[in-house]
Structure 1
Amino acid sequence: MAALLQTHGLTAFYGDFQALFGVDIDVQPGEVVALIGSNGAGKSTFLKALAGLTKAKREQIVYRGEAIGGMPAASIVGKGIALVPEGRRLFASLSVEENLLLGAYSGRPGRWNLEAVYTLFPALRERRHHAATALSGGQQQMVAIGRALMSNPDLLMCDELSLGLAPVIVREIYAALPDIVSDGMSAIVVEQDVQLARRVSSRFYCFQEGRISLSGVSADVSDEAITQAYFGVAA
């Protein structure tokens, strides 16, 4: 089966600072892939490069066989890649429903519309006319996920969904993931909780200082190997 997404020697810079060093990753259709690693390891930068928010060379990112590195973010959304950013980044002046509708601007067809998002996250239906940033942190995260789904992506990228949320809310949000990908959607999940990342994914990549230090099948790799790759020290 041809990969949905591949990166080839992906590099990324912030000015003179290099954040990624030759990262090679592939995502298959219908697959959930986890990215793990400590703060500053390059995980968020990797997602930003895929989303067109950080510069990349054209040939370094290939999606459905097409080189898309460096394309504008709006064009990448139109091709079927959506990002749920770290910190949610909702529009404070808009309601829940208005934030959701912004996600549909690309006009891609698919099963995700307002009714589908409200069925996935019933709490949002009740609060659809409230200011999005007046909601709880967990509900704001649901809005951010819903907004991304409204673009009907084939690849959903989630950056630190559990950040700052209570464990019970984290479980509720991740419980929705199987339904989200049930129609063959692929997902990349950035998650610092290693055990949670392994439970929700089929494969993982561990980032350390902008490089891949370990990759494998989530259920097969030992905790000791992951600890060594995560921290760069012997377990």
Structure 2
Amino acid sequence: MPAILETHGLTAFYGDFQALFGIDVTVNRGEVIALIGSNGAGKSTFLKALAGLLRAPAQQIVYKGEPVGGMAAARIVGKGIALVPEGRRLFASLSVEENLMLGAYCSRPGRWSLDTVYALFPVLKERRHHPATALSGGQQQMVALGRALMSNPELLMCDELSLGLAPVIVREIYAALPSIVADGMSAIVVEQDVQLARRVSKRFYCFQEGRVSLSGASAEVSDEAITQAYFGAVS
């Protein structure tokens, strides 16, 4: 399968602090990959760099054959990359439907609209006029995911969808993932639950101290190898 996204020696900084050291990742079209690793390993930083929220040299991020590193976040969304951020980041002063509509501002064509988001998450239609932050945590996560889908992305990036949610809600949200990517959308899923990440992805990358410590097919790499890559020191 051709790659939709590639990073080449990707680095990222917060001021003088270097958070990523030469990250090489490939996402193929129609593929779901997982990023695993402990807190502070660099997973969210990686997504922020892809989304244009952190500066990066242009050639270090290539999307559909085009260097996009350092491109403004609004342009990144317009090109078909959408981020569901950690912590949801909903607008408290806006209703559920207004938050969803913000995702459609770039007017990309595609199958995702209010109707298709509501079909995916019917509870959001029932509560579309409620303040978004008045919903339960799981329902807020559905709004954040729906908002990203409203931009009709070709690459969907999900940062810690399960964070702070009850297991039954996590299962409900992840149960929607196959139908979301059924039309060939690619996805990057950052997930603390390693076994869940492996179940929903084809391949994974394990981050450790801002570097890739292990990568492989999600169904084939041993638990022991992943444990070593997750906790072991990076040389």
TM-score range, shorter chain: over 0.9
User: Counterpart in 1 of 2:76?
Assistant: 76
1:217 aligns with 2:217: yes
1:199 aligns with 2:204: no
User: Counterpart in 2 of 1:227?
Assistant: 227
Gaps of 5+ in 1: none
Q: What do the CA deviations read for 1:4-31 (whole angstroms, capped 9, x no partner)?
A: 0000000000011000000000000000
1:18 aligns with 2:18: yes
CA distance in 2, matches of 1:20, 1:123: 39
Offset of 1:101 from its aligned partner? 0.2
CA distance in 2, matches of 1:123, 1:224: 40
Q: What do the CA deviations read for 1:63-118 (whole angstroms, capped 9, x no partner)?
A: 00000000000000000000000000000000000000000000000000000000
User: Counterpart in 2 of 1:64?
Assistant: 64
Offset of 1:52 from its aligned partner? 0.1
CA distance in 1, matches of 2:143, 2:68: 27
Offset of 1:2 from its aligned partner? 2.2
Gaps of 5+ in 2: none
Q: What do the CA deviations read for 1:114-156 (whole angstroms, capped 9, x no partner)?
A: 0000000011000000000000000000000000000000000
For residues 77-156 of structure 1, the aligned pairs below 5 Å read 77-156=77-156
CA distance in 2, matches of 1:190, 1:119: 25
Whichever residue aligns with residue 174 of structure 1, its letter is Y
Offset of 1:184 from its aligned partner? 0.2
Q: What do the CA deviations read for 1:44-77 (whole angstroms, capped 9, x no partner)?
A: 0000000000110000000000000000000000
Residue 75 of structure 1: SS of its match in structure 2? Answer: helix
Offset of 1:208 from its aligned partner? 0.1
CA distance in 1, matches of 2:9, 2:2: 19
Residue 46 of structure 1: SS of its match in structure 2? Answer: helix
Whichever residue aligns with residue 223 of structure 1, its letter is D
CA distance in 1, matches of 2:29, 2:164: 30
CA distance in 2, matches of 1:59, 1:198: 29
Residue 163 of structure 2: SS of its match in structure 1? Answer: coil
TM-score (norm 2): 0.99
CA distance in 2, matches of 1:232, 1:31: 28
Residue 179 of structure 1: SS of its match in structure 2? Answer: helix
Residue 3 of structure 2: SS of its match in structure 1? Answer: coil
User: Counterpart in 2 of 1:173?
Assistant: 173
Residue 4 of structure 1: SS of its match in structure 2? Answer: strand
Q: What do the CA deviations read for 1:151-191 (whole angstroms, capped 9, x no partner)?
A: 00000000000000000000000000000000000000000
